[in-house]
């Protein structure tokens, strides 16, 4: 006796997908702006190098200092970009798997269907718990770095929404699995 009208977990996964997409978008915009801002401050000059055969090789050198290529802001923004992208992929995959398992397949018994749902829900729950932990770490890191850069405000806001939402999604998935297990036993 499986409940087919579980609107709460569908809404929660859709919200998690949208928040991770927003975190990824905000991080990508901040990274592109920070990348352009760092490059605009450095002088560009042409350097001529000689190849092994003596022909000149032309290249545009943006700076002779390598330490300007990666800044703490870029590292924080790249971490936000990674967490947002991974969270987006995980929640899309779990949501798709759970939607495909919603349909009752005639060839499978109710126990086999529950087992498959439980595997998908458990993996989504564990992944969202890990994403919640990564989100808390990002919020702490971005909270200390936001003083020096306004670029980190949007990723900070979305990361602070992402962390509790990933935790709530994991809790809702665990409750869904428990409730379905009780329904199966009844």
**Token pair 């409730």: residue:** 179
The pLDDT assigned to 72 comes to 66
Query: What phi and psi values does residue 118 have, to the nearest 5 degrees?
Result: -65, -40
pLDDT at 183 over 80: no
Which pLDDT score, from 0 to 100, does residue 119 have?
83
Residue in this structure with the two tokens 């703490």, named with its chain if needed: 72
Nearest to 127 by CA among 10, 5, 17, 11: 17
Annotated domain spans of the chain? 7-41+69-185
CB within 8 A of 143, min separation 6: which ones?
A: 156
> For 7-57, how does the pLDDT look when each residue is reduced to its tens digit (9 = 90+)?
777 888 899 999 999 999 998 888 888 766 655 454 444 444 444 555 555
**What is the CB neighbour count within 10 angstroms for residue 114?**
19
pTM comes to: 0.71
| Average predicted confidence (pLDDT) for the chain | 75
């Amino acid at each position: 006796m499986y409940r087919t009208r579980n609107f709460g977990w569908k809404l929660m996964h859709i919200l998690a997908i949208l928040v991770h997409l927003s975190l990824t978008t905000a991080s990508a915009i901040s990274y592109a702006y920070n990348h352009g801002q760092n490059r605009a401050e450095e002088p560009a000059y042409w350097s001529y190098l000689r190849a092994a055969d003596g022909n000149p090789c032309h290249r545009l050198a943006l700076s002779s200092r390598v330490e300007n290529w990666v800044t703490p802001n870029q590292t924080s923004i790249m971490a936000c970009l990674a967490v947002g992208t991974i969270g987006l992929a995980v929640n899309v995959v779990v949501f798709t798997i759970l939607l495909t398992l919603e349909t009752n397949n005639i060839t499978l018994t109710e126990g086999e269907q529950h087992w498959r749902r439980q595997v998908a829900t458990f993996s989504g729950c564990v992944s969202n718990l890990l994403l919640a932990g990564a989100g808390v770490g990002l919020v702490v890191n971005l909270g200390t770095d936001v003083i020096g850069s306004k670029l980190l405000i949007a990723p900070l806001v979305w990361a602070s929404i992402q962390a509790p939402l990933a935790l709530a999604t994991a809790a809702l998935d665990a409750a869904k699995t428990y409730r379905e297990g009780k329904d199966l036993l009844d």
